Chain A
Amino acid sequence: MGRIKALDKLTISKIAAGEVVERPVAVVKELIENALDAGATEIVADIEDGGRKLIRVSDNGTGMSREDAEMCLKSHSTSKLGSIDDLERVHTLGFRGEALHSIGSVSTLTVTTSDNENGEGWRVRMEGGAEKPLEAAARARGSTVEVENLFYNVPARRKFIKSARSEIQAVNSMMSKMIVAYPGVAFTQTHNGSPVFKAAGAADMKERIRYIFGKDIADKVARSDGEMAGMRLEAWFTMPDLAFPNRRYQMFVVNGRVVNDKHLAAAVQVACRGLVPSGRHCMAILFLDAPASDIDPNVHPTKSEVRFLSPHDVHSLVYRTIRGRFTEPGIIEPKEILNPIKERNEPAAAGRPSSQHELNIQVPEKPERSAATESSEVHAHPFDAEAAPRPLTQSVPENRSSIRKTTAENEYREPSRIAGHDFKVLGQFFKTYILIDLDGYPMFIDQHVASERIIYNELRRKTKNSAEQLQLISEPVETPRDVYEILSRNLERAREAGLTIEPFGERAFIIRAVAHSAGPFDPVELLAAIADEIRSAPDKAPENLLTGRLLTVAACRMAVKAGQTLSHSEMDALVERYLKEEFNRTCPHGRPITHKLTREALDVWFKR
């Protein structure tokens, strides 16, 4: 008997369901999109136990007739698409005709609907894929879809559902996007009976932004409109007043659908260049309306991605709309935002300094001079015991008194042993790089970044138990909902990060004390950054963000500069301290500090 069998219909449905409904949040999203497609102006979502027990979405949309109600649970049945040609002109959120059937095959699904004002309605049910006969039910116009015991018959999937808390967080995050994307629709959401969102309908965009992102962002948000090649763009954004460490506060709505799109994100990034510090992102909400034929939303079953017919046009529309706002005079003064950690360590005289050639004449003839040492300089300190010709140093001023010496001439130096490594400083090149012999390997060290790392670590160690400046006047700081949710559960960690805060009201904090060594900061931005830190590494002790940034700048200023001549003893001390450091791979800004040459690399170079 053959081992390959055709799958039965129920199994096929369950597998298909997995694509559309991965998690409770996907179900809620599908149902809300259906309600929006039905023209609802009021949508109520009730969730229980993170959606595992119950998801109920009610709307006041057009509802369904008796015939439609009977059809709606069938696989690939939809009111939104007649034939394949219609796919070219999709303007509704749903169209695949998969959702209800898929959901019904992995849960107990009840749809109660009415398309008239007489209170005459119908109820259809599906239990684990088995349809139950239609019953009459009383209901005002609109639909209510109830999903109970999601994935009860797919244990494998159920196992992967996370805790009620993380599922409801995902739902809340999706809902907040919907609330922003549809300012005209009233949304209410509850979880286990307690209210989560209650956004009044017919709101204007600023009200919605305020509701979801808080007062500070809403106060700073600007709007700009653009049009191009039949596409219309409405952009809301906060730059250059406020920037965040990630794109959490960016949202794209294409033809009414909330999507993730790399093109749009990239266009925003380019538009912000020079106005927002590099590595940071402005808050941006883009509403793009494009002819349905220019867009393919059918990329992914959950429709979270779109494909543009001409991504180029979209890019330049976004760029022009956002950027244009800042060239208009008098609207926002585009203050020049410099990257706070921008370095000014361009070597003053990188490469071969011409002035030093004259000094060269005074140096006694070298017994041998290789090609390599011709172009390099090695400095030894005049007061170094091992330094060569003394008389010379007396005739030249201190700062120019370093003597050119070749490595070949360098007297033998005992390797020093530090942190399990043997090292010997061989010399300084281009006044920027120190060449050392590390356990027999040649290694270049960037003197500026190495010194920066040492100073930074030292400052960090000292400020660990930082004193706190208590606040005399504390005003509540309103935060975005997601930030509030995380921080209110992690007050102690916020304190470690430099801020002593207390929850105030349903989404604000009062700052009671600030790390004494803190520099100036924007509290909304900082709270968001701390929340991100906690989110991305829940178990790691958070960096003291407040002082961290400040220390980075301080370390950069205090560090040895590129282009600075170092004596042998200075180089020894620097390398020794550097090798002792714990986190020594990159500078505080993330640049590499060392480059080690291996035998293999050299062999390849010489084609051995």
Chain B
Amino acid sequence: MKFFCSRDKLIKNLQIAQRAVDAKSQAAVLRNVLMDASGGKLNLVGYDHRMGIRTSIDCQIDTEGSITVPCALLIDILGVMQEEQVYFTLEDSSMKVECGRSKYNLSCISADDFPPFPKIEGKDTFEMEAGVLETGIRQTIFATNPDDHRAFMGGVLLNLEKNEIKFVSTDGHRLAMRKFDVPGGSLPTQKVIIPTRTLNELLRILPDAGEEKVKVTVDVKSISFTLDGVFVTSRLVEAEYPKFEKVIPTRAEGQCRINRTRMMGSVRGASIMARSKENRDLIEINVTDDSIKFTSSTQDVGSASEELEVVKKGKDIRVAFNSKYILDFLGAVEEDEVVFDYTEELDPGLFHTDMPGYTYVLMPIKV
């Protein structure tokens, strides 16, 4: 195996593949990245049995072949090198890495020991705009809870119907749902839960994808995405997603409209005085006539009160929420004005904007 390629491109792509390399794995081969030089391409593969990433760059190949190399080590080495081209030569089980006057030797593990990606069976393949995928993930991912004992909270539900895509997440206290209409679409009917970790990695890769289409393949136990030369495959969360529709309130007895940036400032302010161990970000919201007040207090520390003007319809309300949850919502939307629908003190509150498609349900705290 002998080839050379651009050092910058290699580093960039190794860093992408590295996201699926488990540096702490007990199996040495899983701490490595698979390098496969064939057909003028160098493929780089990271795989930890849960998630796999394959990316490729152009290279000049002298002899084709494949091998696994310690991933973090290789990135470190490439980082200190100076020249543009880097040369690789495999001698026995040792990889010679040369760049300018730098020469390094890395012990390798045979590519035969590297686990293959799972076979895809009974697949449904379709395309999705990168922007849709990115927004859908970004607006829901924060409401998952991978640490919970309930497996379905460990990911975002991707709910596909003919011409509708829904992203849904919940941690038991709140639920975020983003819906996209695909006019004239012919999507397969699917309901899968994608692990939070996979989505986090996708988010890091996606901004580079621009306007492109992402090819999505859904299988019984796995899902894969192909975008901009990067292939990501992931095991699905094996769990039944609860009937989320029934927790979304369908009526409200009051509604207020608030400027989003101002509200963000006020909630942040009030949460400063609720930071203590015992309060854990609890703030109270008090809506009267044409104002909304955010208050908090901690014994021996102090109290806060932030007031904003609102346009209110219907009844007044006094309700307590975890301020972090409200800030998550405010940070996930972009519109200037947000809408808060409420009923009673102990009923779920509904946050949304005038742009249809995004719904955020939040359970209050009983004080």
Contact = CB atoms under 8 A, between A and B. Distances in A.
A469 B277 contact: no
A473 B244 contact: yes
- B contact patch SS: loop
A554 interface: yes
Contacts of B247: 472-473
Which among B173, B280, B322, B367 has the greatest number of chain A C-beta atoms within 10 A?
B280
A516 interface: yes
Nearest to A455: B277
B299 A468 contact: no
Contacts of B362: 472
A529 interface: no
B364 A470 contact: yes
A475 interface: yes
Count class of interface residues, chain A: 20 to 34
Interface stretch (A57-65, A300-308, A459-467, A478-486): A459-467
Contacts of B277: 459, 517, 551, 554
A532 B363 CA distance: 30
Interface in A546-569: 551, 554
B363 A471 contact: yes
Contacts of B366: 467-470, 513
Nearest to B150: A475
A94 B363 CA distance: 58
Interface string B323-367: 000000000000000000000001010000000000001111111
Interface string A490-530: 00000000000000000000000100110010110000000
A279 to B, nearest CB: 21
A472 B278 contact: no
Contacts of A469: 173, 322, 363, 365-366
Contact of B346 (A329, A466, A470): A470
- A contact patch SS: loop
B224 to A, nearest CB: 23
A475 B148 contact: no
B144 interface: no
B280 A516 contact: yes
Given A470-B366, A472-B173, A473-B244, A520 B278 contact: no
Given A470-B363, A471-B363, A463 B170 contact: no
Nearest to A241: B149
Contacts of A462: 276, 278, 299
A472 B365 contact: no
B147 interface: yes
A237 B297 CA distance: 47
A392 B174 CA distance: 59
B40 interface: no
Interface in B224-251: 242, 244, 247
9 contacts: A459-B278, A467-B282, A469-B322, A471-B173, A472-B170, A472-B247, A473-B244, A520-B148, A522-B149
Given A472-B363, A473-B244, A475-B150, 16 more contacts: A462-B278, A463-B278, A466-B278, A468-B366, A469-B173, A471-B172, A471-B173, A472-B175, A472-B362, A473-B242, A474-B172, A516-B322, A517-B278, A520-B147, A522-B149, A551-B277
